[in-house]
């Protein structure tokens, strides 16, 4: 059993993507500035690296967001993924998103913003969209599709590989990652945390960083932060909302012994289809839902045989949920049979090759929950003057750049690309708005 230190400068709680990325980048920043090293940092996890959402994510790394500040964050994130794509298991296959006519204006805005921040993407409309899709997937059923967006530098990563790679980066830079230590409380003196209390003793520290994922609301409450937040919008309206809302993810896997490849024999881009006015029906014509929303890609490390992994819009749970046991271990939050029907029918409606695929759905646990912020956009900010929170609103497996930017910020740099994610936006009338989508990922 690892010995926990009695005192250390930086305590990172949670060894998911954010805790590990932040610790690794902080170690590099400390060393580069002659202000310390990884030996000043300890990462604590009550279970171990990847025990939370980071270990079960679908692994999609894309930049299709209506919230423009996220585009720059993803630019930084892909830089980190490409820092060592082999160690992180990152497949830079690109990302293609398709929609109907009501989304063309949104997509135009997204493409312009992505390219402004150096995230190369192209837009195809009408017949050009059809030709583009068929050039990659000749059996793509393009009826009803009016727009396609192609992000060149996006892709996906294997979650176990990514976590292993990040943990290795931490170790390479002298950061101690200690498993099996739960932070149970905080000693707060003069408004600052002076010690974290763990089930293995107390650790005195200067700064605490939360990479707590779905457990963030529990610690938010421990430090007496409010359950409800007045969210002020740019149009002058105010809506009081729960600070945290849990959603249950719907994802699964489908075996396919025929390799899933492009016309050119390559690993295809991650595909996202959102047709807001096109229902999904099964092979018998039974309507499963009145809109199409799905994403899928090659199954990667998760599969024991060739196949694909995909998902759809998550299910809202509310301000309370049971986080322990987490993920596949929690009976309450596993995807139901209807999801398997929907995913397979949606895939069959999208490409001819998937017709009749339903019997190949892989029966296994896939569930996982996440804690979303009031506007479903990440909050990266101080909770107390020496407690920094990385709360990605449960869409941040892709956001490895958050830890890179946070490390610079914690060194005292002015980091412009982090500012849009401050908690103060709710009070300042900068709450992000709703979106033209069925999904909370805005
Ligand atoms: C099923 C699913 C699919 C997803 N797919 C994608 C995707 O394709 N792309 C994408 O970008 N995002 C995806 N996400 C979201 C993404 O996985 C998360 O946003 C991200 O992994 C959160 O990382 P984290 O580091 O904040 O938290 P986590 O990975 O949840 O890590 C938190 C850690 O904190 C530890 N911990 C908790 N309490 C304590 C304590 N008291 N003391 C010590 N340690 C503690 C836990 O053991 C855990 O390891 C998905 C999420 C789910 C659930």
The pLDDT tens digits along the chain (442 residues) read: 678 999 999 999 999 999 999 999 999 999 999 999 999 999 999 999 999 999 999 999 999 999 999 999 999 999 999 999 999 999 999 999 999 999 999 999 999 999 999 999 999 999 999 999 999 999 999 999 999 999 999 999 999 999 999 999 999 999 999 999 999 999 999 999 999 999 999 999 999 999 999 999 999 999 999 999 999 999 999 999 999 999 999 999 999 999 999 999 999 999 999 999 999 999 999 999 999 999 999 998 889 999 999 999 999 999 999 999 999 999 999 999 999 999 999 999 999 999 999 999 999 999 999 999 999 999 999 999 999 999 999 999 999 999 999 999 999 999 999 999 999 999 999 999 865 566 777 7
Whether pTM > 0.95 for this model: the answer is: yes
Residue 138 falls within a domain, yes or no? no
13 lies in some domain? yes
Tell whether ligand 1 has an atom less than 6 A from the beta carbon of residue 70: no
60: containing domain = 1-91+155-237+375-442
Contacts of 52 (CB under 8 A, 6+ apart): 14, 16, 213, 214, 215, 326, 327
| Domain count along the chain | 1
Nearest atom within ligand 1 for CA of residue 45: 44
Distance CA 187, CA 321 (A): 26
Ligand 1 center from residue 98 Cα (angstroms)? 28
* Residue 177 beta carbon below 6 angstroms from any ligand 1 atom: no
| Pairing mode of beta strands 245-255, 307-318 | antiparallel
What is the structure's pLDDT at 434?
Answer: 64
Residue 206 lies in a domain: yes
What is the torsional sign of CA 217, 223, 229, 234?
negative
Residue matched to tokens 């610079």: 408
Ligand 1 atom closest to the CA of 251, numbered from 1: 1
Cα 345 to averaged position of ligand 1 atoms, centre (Å):
29
Q: Which of 60, 170, 183, 215 to mutate to test the pocket of ligand 1 (most atoms within 8 A of CB)?
A: 215
Residue 259 lies in a domain: no
**How far is Cα 189 from Cα 187, in angstroms, rounded to an integer?**
7
21 lines ligand 1 (CB under 6 A): no
Residue 87: Cβ within 10 Å count:
15
Tokens at 123, concatenated: 């837009």
**H or E stretch at 228:** strand 228-232
**Residue 435 burial (C-beta neighbours within 10 Å; 0-12, 13-18, 19+):** middle
Q: Which of 2, 73, 213 to mutate to test the pocket of ligand 1 (most atoms within 8 A of CB)?
A: 213
Reading the block at residue 200, the tokens are: 């293995």
SS3 per residue for 34-49: CCCCHHHEEEEECCCC
43 within some domain = yes
Q: Is residue 107 part of a domain?
A: no
| Phi/psi at 242 (5° precision) | -65, 140
CATH number at residue 392: 3.50.50.60
β-pair type (238-242, 60-61)? unpaired
62: in domain: yes
Q: How far apart are CA 223 and CA 125, in angstroms?
A: 50
- Hey, whose CA ends up nearest to atom 19 of ligand 1? 394
* 272 CB near ligand 1 (under 6 Å): no
Residue 12 lies in a domain: yes
Best substitution site from 52, 78, 179 to test ligand 1's pocket, by max atoms within 8 Å of Cβ? 52
Distance between Cα 394 and ligand 1 center (Å): 7
Are the C-beta atoms of residues 294 and 347 closer than 8 Å to each other? Answer: yes
Distance of CA 21 to the CA centre of its chain: 14
- Let me know: does 31 contact 37? Beta carbons within 8 Å: yes
């Amino acid at each position: 059993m690892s010995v926990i230190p009695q005192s250390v400068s930086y305590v990172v709680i949670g060894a998911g993507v954010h805790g590990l990325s932040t610790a690794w980048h902080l170690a590099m920043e400390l060393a580069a500035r002659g202000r310390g090293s990884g030996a000043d940092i300890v990462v604590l996890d009550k279970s171990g690296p990847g025990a939370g959402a980071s270990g079960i994510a679908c692994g999609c790394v894309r930049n299709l967001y209506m919230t423009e500040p996220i585009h720059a964050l993803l630019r930084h994130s892909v830089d980190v993924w490409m820092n060592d794509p082999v160690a992180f298991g990152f497949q830079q296959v690109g990302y293609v998103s398709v929609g109907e006519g009501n989304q063309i204006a949104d997509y135009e805005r997204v493409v312009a913003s992505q390219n402004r921040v150096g995230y190369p993407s192209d837009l195809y409309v009408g017949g050009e969209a059809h030709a583009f899709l068929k050039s990659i997937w000749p059996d793509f059923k393009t009826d009803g599709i009016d727009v396609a967006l192609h992000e060149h530098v996006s892709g996906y990563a294997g979650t176990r590989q990514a976590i292993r790679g990040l943990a290795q980066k931490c170790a390479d830079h002298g950061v101690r990652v200690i498993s099996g230590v739960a932070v149970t409380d905080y000693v707060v003196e003069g408004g600052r945390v002076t010690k974290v209390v763990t089930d293995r003793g107390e650790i005195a520290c200067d700064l605490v960083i939360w990479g707590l994922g779905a457990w963030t609301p529990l610690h938010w409450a421990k430090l007496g932060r409010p359950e409800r937040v007045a969210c002020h919008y740019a149009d002058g309206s105010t809506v009081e909302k729960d600070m945290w809302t849990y959603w249950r993810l719907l994802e699964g896997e489908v075996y396919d012994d025929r390799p899933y490849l492009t016309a050119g024999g390559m690993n295809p881009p991650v595909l996202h289809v959102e047709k807001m006015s096109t229902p999904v029906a099964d092979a018998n014509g039974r309507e499963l839902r009145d809109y199409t929303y799905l994403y899928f890609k090659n199954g990667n490390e998760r599969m024991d045989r060739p196949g694909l992994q995909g998902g759809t819009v998550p299910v809202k749970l509310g301000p309370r949920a049971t986080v322990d046991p987490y993920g596949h271990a929690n009976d309450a939050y596993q995807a139901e049979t209807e999801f398997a029907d929907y995913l397979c029918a949606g895939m069959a409606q999208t490409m001819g090759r998937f017709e009749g695929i339903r019997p190949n759905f892989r029966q296994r646990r896939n569930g996982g929950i996440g804690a979303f912020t009031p506007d479903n956009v990440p909050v990266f900010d101080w909770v107390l003057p020496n407690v920094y929170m990385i709360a990605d609103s449960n869409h941040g497996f892709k956001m490895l750049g958050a830890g890179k930017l946070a490390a610079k910020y914690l060194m005292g740099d002015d980091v412009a690309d982090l500012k849009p994610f401050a908690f103060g936006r709710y009070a300042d009338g900068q709450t992000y708005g709703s979106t033209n989508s069925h999904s909370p990922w805005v």
